[in-house]
Amino acid sequence: MNKKILIAIIVGAVVIGAAFGWSEYNRGKTTADEMPIKEVVTAQALFLAFSSDEEAANARFVGTAEQVIQVSGAIRSIEPVDGGHTNVVLETGDPLAGVVCEFANEDLDPTWRTGAAVKVNGFCSGLLLDVVLVRCVPVVSN
């Protein structure tokens, strides 16, 4: 094969690979409102599933690939975490544990108050001391 053709093929492959890598790097994360909902559950039922059988709950709610779950419940507290995020803790019936929903500040509904009944879409990351949902978005009622 001619050296010029071989060099052109190698350079072309490198350029295509670099373009693909750049686009994947800048793609960003999928948000909870861009994916279908896999499970709809109350905060109390979600916590009960994790506290009774964590392995089964991980398989169901966390899964092997990202999946969106919708959780409904009453707001126990709203806690700013840092400059860009706020945690909304949903009531589970257990005074020591809740469902922590992490929101980017721009995604948080400014009308939410403690005690309000809400619905949240998010990605479950499992049980720490609380059940944790990340990259949450509020569900807008019609």
Interval 64-92: pLDDT, tens? 888 999 999 999 999 998 888 999 999 99
Percent of the chain scoring above 90 in pLDDT = 62
pTM of the model: 0.77
Is the pLDDT at 48 greater than 90? The verdict is: yes
Cβ-in-10-Å burial (0-12, 13-18, 19+) of 125 comes to middle
> Is residue 27 very low, low, confident or very high in pLDDT (cuts 50, 70, 90)?
low
Q: Residue 90: phi, psi to the nearest 5?
A: -95, 145
Mean pLDDT of 56-67: 91
Question: Hey, is 78 helix, strand or coil?
Answer: strand
Distance CA 40, CA 139 (A): 12
Q: How confident is the model at residue 15 (pLDDT cuts 50, 70, 90)?
A: confident
Cα(105)–Cα(135) distance, integer angstroms: 11
Which of 13-27, 38-52, 119-133 bottoms out in mean pLDDT, i.e. has the lowest? 13-27
Please, what is the average pLDDT of the chain?
A: 89
Cross-strand pairs, 121: 70, 137
CA neighbor of 47 nearest in space, from 32, 62, 57? 57
Q: C-alpha 22: how far from its chain's center?
A: 24
Phi-psi region of 26 (alpha: psi -120 to 50; beta: other; left: phi over 0): alpha
Is residue 124 a contact partner of residue 65, using CB atoms and an 8 Å limit?
A: no
List, in order, residues 6 or more apart from 62 with CB less than 8 Å away.
124, 125, 126
